[in-house]
Amino acid sequence: MALLPILQYPDPRLHIVAAPVTRFDEELQRLVRDMAETMYAAPGVGLSATQVDVHRQVIVIDVSDGRDALQVFINPVLLEGWGESGLEEGCLSVPGVYDQVPRYERVRIEARDARGERFELEVDGLMSVCVQHEMDHLKGRVFVEYLSRLKQTRIASRMRKQQRRAG
Ligand code: K1U
Ligand code: ZN
């Protein structure tokens, strides 16, 4: 297994639109294992393939307290959404920034698992917000892009400064 580097905002590769997965092969299983290891190590509750510079529709999520309930979403599709969530979110590509953005409180999702089996799932709370956040990553959208222009400019310049300091 391997820890993968996570792209940091405002890296332009975070805006690449991910392509659907067509082969559920050993290479995909390795990507899923490496993404899970990277998410747990970060630590985070979710991770999209876009964030590790792989532009395929792959998401891993674990919002459980025990960190032992990994969920894999390949080629996810939002079927329906209800209500408004009031949860703040964070992002491993924008460390230190937490804010609330428009999200459904409850969603119904269709996706495939790592073996290619189709499933449907209805989720709410953090799981719902996390799925929507990760699906945005696959479309090349970072959550801070819902915030005001002023906030985005400040966040981008703070991130660039941190990245220069880190070399
Ligand atoms: O996609 C990402 O960048 C991961 C992100 C997912 C997310 C968190 C909260 C709301 C929506 C989406 C994170 O995991 S940020 C880190 C975080 O929230 C967390 C880390 C450890 C324990 C609990 C939460
Ligand atoms: Zn994120």
Pairs from 86-89 (Cβ < 8 Å, separation ≥ 24): 87/125, 87/126, 87/129, 89/129, 89/130, 89/133, 89/143
Residue type, 150: L
pLDDT confidence of residue 156? 93
pLDDT confidence of residue 95? 96
In-domain check, residue 3 = no
Ligand 1 pocket test, candidate residues 45, 63, 142, 145, most atoms within 8 A of CB? 45
Task: Give me the number of domains the chain comprises.
Answer: 1
State the SS3 of the chain: CCCCCCCCCCCHHHHCCCECCCCCCHHHHHHHHHHHHHHHHCCCCEEEHHHHCCCECEEEECCCCCCCCCEEEEEEEEEEEECCCCCEECCCCCCCCCEECCCCCEEEEEEECCCCCEEEEEEEHHHHHHHHHHHHHHCCCCHHHHCCHHHHHHHHHHHHHHHHHHC
In-domain check, residue 4 = no
| Per-residue confidence in pLDDT tens, the chain, 167 aa | 899 999 999 999 999 999 999 999 999 999 999 999 999 999 999 999 999 999 999 999 999 999 999 999 999 999 999 999 999 999 999 999 999 999 999 999 999 999 999 999 999 999 999 999 999 999 999 999 999 999 999 999 999 999 999 88
pLDDT confidence of residue 49? 99
Specify which residues 121 forms β-bridges with.
109
27 lies in which domain range? 12-166
- Cβ–ligand 1 distance for 45 under 6 Å, the answer yes
Tokens read off for 59: 């998401």
pLDDT confidence of residue 1? 81
CATH code, domain carrying 103: 3.90.45.10
pLDDT confidence of residue 167? 80
In-domain check, residue 76 = yes
pLDDT confidence of residue 25? 98
pLDDT confidence of residue 138? 99
pLDDT confidence of residue 121? 98
pLDDT confidence of residue 86? 93
- Cβ–ligand 1 distance for 130 under 6 Å, the answer yes
8 Å CB contact between 80 and 108: yes
pLDDT confidence of residue 85? 98
In-domain check, residue 6 = no
- Cβ–ligand 1 distance for 109 under 6 Å, the answer no
Active site residues: 134
